[in-house]
Amino acid sequence: MTQQARERQSVPTMSSIPRFAPVPMLTRRDQVAETLRRAILSGQIPPGTQLIESRLAADLEVSRGLLREAIRELIESGLADNRPYAGTFVTEVNADVLRDVYEMRRVMERQAYTRVWPLRDRAFRSELQRRFDQMIAAVESDDLSEEIRAEAHFHGLVYERCGNHLMPAFWQQMTQKIQLGFAICQIAHAPKVDFKENHHRFLECALGERLDDMLAELDVHLDRGLATIQFEAGNAPGPASLRTA
């Protein structure tokens, strides 16, 4: 028997793989987790708020067991913290945390754009334009939750397409904290920069010919974004509890 034949014999076939049941489109737990996620990222449930199971389960008309599973998803994604003997709370962010996040984002995103620059084919350009249009439509719809989601989706493309398979996971971790920061801005009524104009300039550079222009615009964009979402401790309402209706 040849070496090639032996190698073929050693490769597992589909017959050795167990049968799987169809995957449900969306479970009730997923729906509950997404409802809470949107409420947190839109500022409806502020950072530091205690998530009281009895109140939330009654409002959402689900069992407390199912609610715990949904909250566990929030904890795993970094949107909530479980404090021993105290309960579960929406993750708090402050100026120091946001500075650290933006410092890492600057390093990672510069690297992502450097890697993706020669790979920007027609599909990449078309997808970036599409996500930009979705983001602007979300802004005009005045839906804060969708606006925050769409902005993260727009900026996430370079992490997805740069060729480093770890980049999307890093972006997912960073964007949760960034979105919490923007939610705090809404709570504190922080002044908002010209969103459309600034992102249009960002898009032009991302689709342009000069990498140096893109990296310079990225630095300006991140500096502006950090300045927007940094806040003093007293600007936003203090931690709340969902104990009462």
Domain locations along the chain:
25-90, 95-229
Q: Domain 95-229's class? A: mainly alpha
pLDDT, greater one: 116 or 152:
116
- According to DSSP, residue 21 is labeled P
Backbone angles phi, psi at 209, to 5 degrees: -105, -20
For residue 38, the model assigns a pLDDT of 81
Q: Which of 33-42, 135-144, 233-242 bottoms out in mean pLDDT, i.e. has the lowest?
A: 233-242
Domains 25-90 and 95-229 equal at CATH topology level: no
Q: Which of 3-7, 8-12, 225-229, 234-238 bottoms out in mean pLDDT, i.e. has the lowest?
A: 234-238
**Mean pLDDT within 235-239:** 46
CA distance 48 to 52: 12
CA distance 58 to 72: 18
Length of the chain: 245
CA distance 148 to 229: 13
* Mean of per-residue pLDDT scores for the chain: 81
Contacting residues for 245 by C-beta, under 8 A, at least 6 apart: 55
Instruction: Report residue 201's pLDDT band, with 50, 70 and 90 as the boundaries.
Output: very high
CA distance 83 to 100: 23
CA distance 60 to 31: 10
Is residue 218 within 8 A of residue 109, CB to CB? The reply is yes
Q: Is the pLDDT of residue 225 over 90?
A: no
**Mean pLDDT within 15-33:** 67
**Mean pLDDT within 74-97:** 86
Q: Which of 27-31, 70-74, 143-147, 197-201 bottoms out in mean pLDDT, i.e. has the lowest?
A: 143-147
Q: Which residue has the tokens 């998803």?
A: 73
CA distance 119 to 191: 37
Task: Pull the structure tokens for residue 65.
Answer: 């067991």
Q: Is the pLDDT of residue 88 over 50?
A: yes
For residue 19, the model assigns a pLDDT of 61
CATH topology of domain 25-90: Arc Repressor Mutant, subunit A (1.10.10)
The residue among 207, 196, 195 whose CA lies nearest residue 127 is 207
What is this structure's pTM?
Answer: 0.71
